Structure 1
Amino acid sequence: MFLTGMSKKERCDIAMPSTTIKRVVVFGGGTGLSNILRGLKRYPIDLTAIVTVADDGGSSGRLFDQYDIPPPGDIRQVMAALSDVEPLIEKMFQYRFEGSDDLKGHSLGNLMLTALTTITGDFARAVEQMGLVLNIKGKVLPAANQRITLHAELEDGSIITGESKIPLYGRKIRNVFISPEDVKPLPETAATIKKADLIVFGPGSLYTSILPTILVQDIRDAVLQSTAKKVYVGNLTTQRGETFRYTASEHVQALYDHAGEPFLDAVLVNNVEAFRRAYKSVGEETEPWLVENDLDKLQALVPEVFVQEIATVYNGTIMHKSADVADVLMRYIERT
């Protein structure tokens, strides 16, 4: 099925709904999730982001070692995307220090979340309070209120421990799993998922951002039990060390394999051919990285497949058009 873009009138109709506010839950982490949230926050919806806490690299890893808190990096990016404050405040929150060995590599937002965790004694409470400071649209919930360690079993049977280390080995990933296995999400997380009207997965690093959230047993159960429509927003490019040369259907199959059963109602993928025509100047070196749409296999896995021009190039980076993705998702939820 091909879904066309929205007209101005259709966007206005969604912006002024006459029915109850729709509840939307989005899973993932990092820049991909943040980009989509920037589009969704324009709409009058009840928006919740459930964010991975499996990061162990960079500033997040150092803060865990020193303060024994869940990694704040992905949480920080999502909160910045949902914030409704002066641009300078958001820029300050995202500011990354350089120079001194003690502060080099840390972002101010990570340090603020660490300080609030120390003050309140609880990471989730710190995220909640920071949300008030930043006046965010919606809620941000960490997938767990403690550190989760991510492990990957590679195709040769070897086990790699640590989110930041997994992409470095360059071998195909057979599956990922977490420890502790019995980690619990926040009490409100499962309830929020079960009440949702729409659940969105991705975009983002498949094995290290999206899958770690549904590897938490209670979250996975809540997703499978929820009557909400479930949509996967496909990645635009593959990722070396994780999904190099994966097709769109292989991304979906990995989601099903880790959830234990098929669960998606729809998938939104980029119109790759239209992207190639529009951005010839990007260069042939990007071609191996573009996710190809094997539509026959996708349609066998998912009831509805939407093909839309949702990609752009910004400063040499291929990224989702946040407004266009949000428009498609809002059209979908309004007709269901």
Structure 2
Amino acid sequence: MSRSGKLKKVVAFGGGTGLSTLLRGLKSHHIDLTAVVSVADDGGSSGRLLDEYDIPPPGDIRQVMAALSDVEPLIERMFQYRFSSSEDLKGHSLGNLMLAAMTDITGDFARAIEQMSRVLNIKGKVLPAANQRITLHAELEDGTIVTGESKIPVYGRKIRKVYMSPQEAEPLPETVDTIMGADLLVFGPGSLYTSILPTILVPAIREAVLACKAKKIYIGNLTTQAGETYRYTASEHVQALYDHAGEAFLDAVLLNGADIAALLGKKEQTEPPWSVINDLENIQRLVPDVIVKNMALVNGKNVMHDSEKVANLLMDYIDSAIKTD
């Protein structure tokens, strides 16, 4: 609880697996939770639905809704189910099709999310970064312009900047109001250029993030991402956020302190995935509060954030921040 006795209001930005992992941990806490989700995805099932129904891509929204759902595990599995045999349905997830159908029924993508959220009994709110389809573009270091979120990582060249069209895309009024009333804004973990940054490329969202009084924290990725952040240090991730926002805005950054190679049962890293290097001297110049904690675990052959541990660390941070304000 905040000092006023009301639930702490936490808004998380991003998309895909990174945001979903974070939300699975946060939903167990007694907070007012909102996810602002990228709608820049144009690959796979989402891409096909974009073309066929002219709606914002539902893929990241679907993953986030599943992460926040409070239904029987079998119902969540059904919502996430991806068809593999039928030629017409192959590659589509049932949840994507349900969101497309609900959009057609209600005539509005945001309304469809609201109605499906009730069906799935989700904890918190899910808001699209824009209530329309947007296209993500990247300018690479050699000047090449790449169009389409799914195509950007394929080129394997350093990204100078990303931008979207239409540039005048608007969020829901509720999204801006939610950001302005938040206690904590959380960015990451997740794909820097294709999941996190697309949420703050929407002008009204970026302005609200910069103007609001909430504490703002970035959760660093565990490893760099081929095609997006190859060999990026922690400070380079943060600098990219600042460059696209137009100014420094973070109060804190949460970085992983665990030895990734050791977690994977190796003496040292000789091949990807490469750990994000915590260049503390550089990042301390960029962010007032730098927190380094072990927050990784191994799932099969993959290393991922420990959602419960990350959520607990965020709750500790906001408790401390509110007490000292």
Task: Give the TM-score, by structure 1 length.
Answer: 0.93
Report 1:1-336 matches (<5 A): 19-273=5-259, 275-281=260-266, 284-286=269-271, 289-336=274-321
Provide Cα deviations, 1:61-105, integer angstroms capped at 9, x if missing partner. 000100000000000000000000000000000000011111000
Alignment partners' CA distance in 1, 2:42 and 2:303: 25
Alignment partners' CA distance in 1, 2:199 and 2:263: 35
Contact 1:272/1:292, CA 8 A, preserved across alignment: no
Provide Cα deviations, 1:218-272, integer angstroms capped at 9, x if missing partner. 0000000010000000011111110000000000000000000000000001004
Provide Cα deviations, 1:9-66, integer angstroms capped at 9, x if missing partner. xxxxx8x999321000000000000000000000110000000000000000000100
Residue 184 of structure 1: SS of its match in structure 2?
Answer: coil
Alignment partners' CA distance in 2, 1:255 and 1:194: 19
Residue 33 of structure 2: SS of its match in structure 1?
Answer: strand
Code of the aligned partner of 1:319: M
Q: 1:229 to 1:137 in 2, by over 3 A?
A: same
Percent identity (aligned): 70
For structure 1, the 5+ residue unaligned runs are 1-13
Alignment partners' CA distance in 1, 2:219 and 2:175: 21
Q: How many residues align?
A: 321
Code of the aligned partner of 1:190: V
Contact 1:28/1:202, CA 8 A, preserved across alignment: yes
Alignment partners' CA distance in 2, 1:169 and 1:142: 27
Q: CA RMSD for the aligned pairs?
A: 1.6
Please name the residue that 1:9 is paired with. none
Provide Cα deviations, 1:96-116, integer angstroms capped at 9, x if missing partner. 001111100000000000000
Alignment partners' CA distance in 1, 2:274 and 2:230: 7
For structure 2, the 5+ residue unaligned runs are none
Alignment partners' CA distance in 2, 1:233 and 1:282: 26
Contact 1:60/1:71, CA 8 A, preserved across alignment: yes
Task: Quote the offset at 1:285 in angstroms.
Answer: 4.3
Residue 289 of structure 1: SS of its match in structure 2?
Answer: coil
Task: Give the TM-score, by structure 2 length.
Answer: 0.96
Alignment partners' CA distance in 2, 1:51 and 1:183: 14
Task: Quote the offset at 1:335 in angstroms.
Answer: 1.4
Contact 2:264/2:301, CA 8 A, preserved across alignment: no
Alignment partners' CA distance in 2, 1:323 and 1:57: 30
Alignment partners' CA distance in 1, 2:18 and 2:296: 12
